Amino acid sequence: MSDSAPLSSNSSTDPAAVPRSRGRLVIISGPSGVGKNTVVRAMAAHRTFHFSVSATTRPARPGETNGVDYHFVDSEAFESMVEEDRLLEWAEFAGSRYGTLRGEVLDYLEVGRDVVLDVELTGALHVMESYPDAVSIFVMPPSIEELESRMRGRRDMSESQIATRLALAQEQMQVGPDRFRHVVVNEDLDATVAAIMDILE
């Protein structure tokens, strides 16, 4: 928009003349195992968000539901999504591919819904480039030892998966805090969710 563009007025009573407000995009990132998913789910109790359901080639874990936790797809289907440009971003993480479907984000933002993404670091940085107005929040564990103990507590990862994810977590924790608008340490779920709600006020 040029500086000389006329200012629009919000005083009109004609609803068609009032620009439709877009929802906010909230990007939650942080190392795997830090509890992002639990945090995001708990946010739903405070406010209405659309939680973007990603596509992944990772097999479903016990208790996960297709279409709710992820869209679980095989490599061929994921490749088609990439080729058809249906993904806003995608990344390879710990041997599987994960991607954000454009429809999960754009369709909701356009009708004024707030959308929450739970994505690893490279995907988050990519989305932040396309959406500089997004609220970006990096969730940190209180310590790397605590992260390791949370991963072990989940009992759904092998030793080698834990080792891979811990190494990635250490790299991400060096980069993340400088690149996000907000950093929250997830020591306690309720306090973390409260801190995020304050950010979104």
**Footprint of ligand 5GP (CB under 6 A):** 32, 36, 54, 58, 89, 91, 93, 98-100, 118-120, 123
CB of 29 to ligand 5GP, least distance (A): 7
Nearest distance from C-beta of residue 7 to ligand 5GP, angstroms: 38
CA distance 124 to 121: 5
**In the complex, what is the shortest distance from the CB of residue 120 to ligand 5GP, in angstroms, rounded to a whole number?**
4
Of all residues in the shown chain, the one whose CB is closest to ligand 5GP is 123
**198 by DSSP, 3-state: which?**
helix
Q: How far is CA 7 from CA 2, 110, 112, in A?
A: 11, 22, 22
Nearer residue to ligand 5GP within complex by CB, 91 or 135: 91
Give the whole-angstrom CA distance, residue 119 versus residue 161: 18
Q: What phi, psi does 172 have (nearest 5°)?
A: -65, -35
Cα atoms in the 13 Å half-sphere on the side-chain side of 62: 4
For residue 66, give the DSSP letter: B
Nearer to ligand 5GP, 58 or 150 (CB): 58
Residue placing its CB nearer to ligand 5GP in the complex, 7 or 92 = 92
Task: Name the minimum Å distance from CB 18 to ligand 5GP.
Answer: 33
3 state SS of 18: coil
Contact 119, 98 (CB under 8 A): yes
Residue number with CB closer to ligand 5GP (10 or 52): 52
Minimum distance from residue 59 beta carbon to ligand 5GP (Å): 10
Nearer of residues 90 and 195 to ligand 5GP, judged by Cβ? 90
Q: What angle do CA 100, 193, 183 make, to 5 degrees?
A: 70
